[in-house]
Chain A
Amino acid sequence: MTKVAVTVNGTRHEADVEPRTLLVYFLRNELGLQGTNVGCDTSSCGACTVLLDGESVKSCTVLAVQADGCEVTTVEGLAQGEELHPVQQAFHEQHALQCGYCTPGFVMAAVSLLKENPNPTEEEIRLGLEGNLCRCTGYHNIVRAVQAAAKAGA
């Protein structure tokens, strides 16, 4: 077992983990934060996207030990109390989801994208979300939501 200290959504957590523990399972099973979904399990779909030190990563392809000493933000960490994060609000208003399984990953990828590029073109949004798959193929509204969030100053 290896000791890790990870700050998740502003709260520091210390735990003993097996080195092979993937970050996504650390978040879901150790910390009970089940907003982050496991989709493809092969680093392809992006459903498990979280922010690691502010940047989007696929948490199924990061070991918990690699996140030791880092800050992680999951979808649970975006809202301020009752107030949704502008990207969440935009996904809600633009109906940027169908079954919703991919949504936490898309929201986190969009937050990271807008941090790096606050005013993306439609093409930049589509390219910026290429690491996330929506099996319902609801991409148009997702792109609209990111545009709306950018306008709202996310």
Chain B
Amino acid sequence: MIPAQFEYERAGSVDEAVELLGSEDAKALAGGHSLIPLLRLRFARPALLVDVGRLDDLRYVREDGDRVAIGALSRHADLARDAVLAQHCALVASVAAGIGDPQVRHRGTIGGSVAHADPASDFATVLLTLDAELVARGPGGERTIAASDFFTGPFETALGAQELLTEIRVPKVSAGTYLKHTRRAQDWATVGVAAARVNGGVHVGLASMGTTPVRATAVESALAGGASSTDAAAHAAEGTSPPSDVNGSAAYRAHLAQVLVRRALEAI
């Protein structure tokens, strides 16, 4: 399967990338591990690919007060072994270590993964759970978008056509876990569950339980009201609309969400 034809430009800077993204039907290419499969299936047929994969100044992890700032082009493999993350937000490192397979992790980037916004995305779910902030650069300058406002639909985000995701900021958290159930090792999550203690409360997020990653708000409220992990987990599927597909029915996903939420809560 060969992609349809497109033009190709490699951006030498974020400003140049933003300018190039102003062309009609342009799309940013980072590691390509979400986009290239779509190009090959011809689900995506952009006129221009703007390769941002060489913008090495967007590869970093650094402390930023009570947060950790992650450059959008950091690869999963780099995040998995990053010392700053290991100390201050090990959840993100452990999620990175479990995405796809080693070959995918050598190419895929956190920014590319998040901008792709697959409802089954591990990173998207964890960022939503952590109340992360996403920084985007566009023609008008930089803006910060809350993760809760970022994922607007399946494969849709709040990013404008000419905006490039440049940084992700996550809070420092000591307790967090991400559990996912997959049919095969490298599959997307049939259901994924993130749980973390953030600012004195317990946050819980779900992958593959709707058209975007979602927060398990009923679980969070139950916990805030003093419910046990088991009792709170029983609310895991409330307010969600899981899909039925080859990986499982909606009812199976609802059951899986309850089991994984309970296990995740017991682990943090």
Contact = CB atoms under 8 A, between A and B. Distances in A.
Interface stretch (B100-108, B219-227, B241-249, B252-260): B100-108
Interface in A51-104: 52, 55-58, 61-63, 65-66, 68
Given A22-B2, A61-B107, A130 B185 contact: yes
Given A55-B77, A65-B51, A131 B8 contact: no
- From DSSP, what is the main secondary structure of chain A's interface residues? mixed
Contacts, number: 80
B137 interface: no
Given A43-B37, A62-B36, A131-B103, 18 more contacts: A2-B8, A19-B7, A20-B5, A25-B2, A43-B104, A56-B106, A57-B103, A58-B104, A61-B36, A61-B37, A62-B32, A65-B10, A66-B32, A127-B185, A130-B186, A131-B104, A131-B186, A132-B101
Contacts of B100: 131
Contacts of A55: 77, 106
B155 interface: no
A109 B5 contact: no
Indicate the size class of the contact surface on chain B. Answer: 20 to 34
A109 B4 contact: no
Indicate the size class of the contact surface on chain A. Answer: 20 to 34
A46 B5 contact: no
A42 interface: yes
A104 to B, nearest CB: 14
Nearest to A127: B185
Contact of B33 (A20, A43, A49, A68): A43
Interface string B46-72: 000101010000000000000000000
